[in-house]
Chain A
Amino acid sequence: MSDAWIVVIAVGALTMVFKAAGPVFLGDRQLPARAQSVVDLVAPVMLTALVVTQTLGGDEKIVVDARIPGVAAAAVAIWRGAPIFVAMLIAALVTALVRVVL
């Protein structure tokens, strides 16, 4: 089985169990408060780490390239309230342009 299929099956199976956790397995019992506050931090933490790897990550090295102006432009757009897809488009356009020029 290819790596991609192993990822697809493992992530799919676990996510299905997570989504069924309340209705099928646990009922409406609450998570303990401290566990909940750890879970609450997962999204901001993982998404920030992904921003860093996606902007600066290379083949086991930090790569400073055309992605940075693209992501910076998108950050300004997001901060000004642009919809997500507009921000993505801006990042792609700026990065592609810088790549053509350099």
Chain B
Amino acid sequence: MVADGTPTRVRDGVRAALPLVLGPVLFGLSFGVLADAAGMSAAAAVVMSATTFAGSAQFAAASVLADGGTVLAAVVSAVLLNLRYVGQSIAAASVFSGSRARRFFESQLIVDESWALSGRSGRFEWPILVGAGLLLYVLWVSSTAVGSFVGGALGDPNDLGLDAAFAALFLALAMPYLRERKAVEAAVVAGAITLVLIPVVPAGVPLVAASAACLLGLRR
């Protein structure tokens, strides 16, 4: 990170994340709006952003609830999306030190962006992860609060095309993964399972069933 050999500091991590701030602010706002439409109180939305701190899973859970899906379907689809954090957390494990409690709380700052920034020099840097993670965390939680208070004033979110906007969000989030053949094949199978099951089972269940397509990863 710093070319002249001075040690990297937490403030370098904050600085590294500055170019990214628009994303979390806009997504935090829109998560708040969607959560409100899904029947979550402002408090529930803010607590979710503060504890889960992972955009795609939060959007998935809220969209299942907004469609009238079950609690179990909402939890399973969000949790599956967050499974990737097990891998990211293991990869970055060696930079955390101190007591178990300290490692636990610091590891909560792992989110796609902070993780990617902290590893971009080829080895993980603790100050970048913590600095970037802190900035993103504060922005994410505060913009969720603003979004869920504004959300109530917007009227029916579907009149504004919000349902299509979230489809576009998921599509944009999926796109970077769809460069590898295996991922494309699994995505096509998942899409087909979902399409077939939508008319047959309650909302949310098609998502859980579609996750079976991940087992295509077992092929050699």
Contact = CB atoms under 8 A, between A and B. Distances in A.
B153 interface: no
Interface in B13-47: 22-23, 26-27, 30, 38-41, 44, 47
A78 B172 contact: yes
Contact of B86 (A6, A7, A39): A39
B213 A11 contact: no
Given A23-B104, A57-B67, A15 B54 contact: yes
Contacts of A55: 164, 167
Contacts, number: 328
Contact of A41 (B58, B82, B202, B213): B213
Contact of B183 (A44, A58, A74): A44
B94 interface: yes
Given A15-B57, A45-B210, A53-B207, A62 B104 contact: no
Given A11-B52, A49-B193, A42 B168 contact: no
B218 interface: yes
Given A4-B65, A51-B174, A20 B103 contact: yes
B86 A18 contact: yes
Given A45-B214, A56-B195, A16 B187 contact: no
B52 A12 contact: yes
Interface residues of B, number: 103
B168 A5 contact: no
Interface residues on A, range: 35 or more
B180 to A, nearest CB: 9
Interface residues of B, dominant DSSP: helix
Contact of A34 (B167, B189, B218): B218
A7 B74 CA distance: 7
Contact of A88 (B54, B85, B165): B165
B82 A15 contact: yes
A42 B106 contact: no
Contacts of B213: 41, 45
Contacts of B214: 38-39, 41-42, 45
Interface of A: 2-16, 18-24, 26-31, 34, 36-62, 66-67, 70-71, 74-75, 78, 84-85, 87-97, 99
Given A50-B60, A54-B164, 15 more contacts: A4-B40, A8-B47, A22-B107, A26-B93, A37-B217, A37-B218, A47-B173, A48-B187, A53-B194, A54-B167, A55-B167, A61-B199, A66-B161, A67-B167, A93-B161
Interface of B: 22-23, 26-27, 30, 38-41, 44, 47-48, 50-54, 56-61, 63, 65, 67-68, 71, 74-75, 77-94, 96, 100, 103-104, 106-108, 110, 159-175, 177-178, 182-184, 186-191, 193-195, 198-203, 206-207, 210-211, 213-218
10 contacts: A4-B39, A7-B75, A31-B86, A46-B210, A48-B188, A48-B190, A48-B194, A50-B59, A53-B194, A53-B206
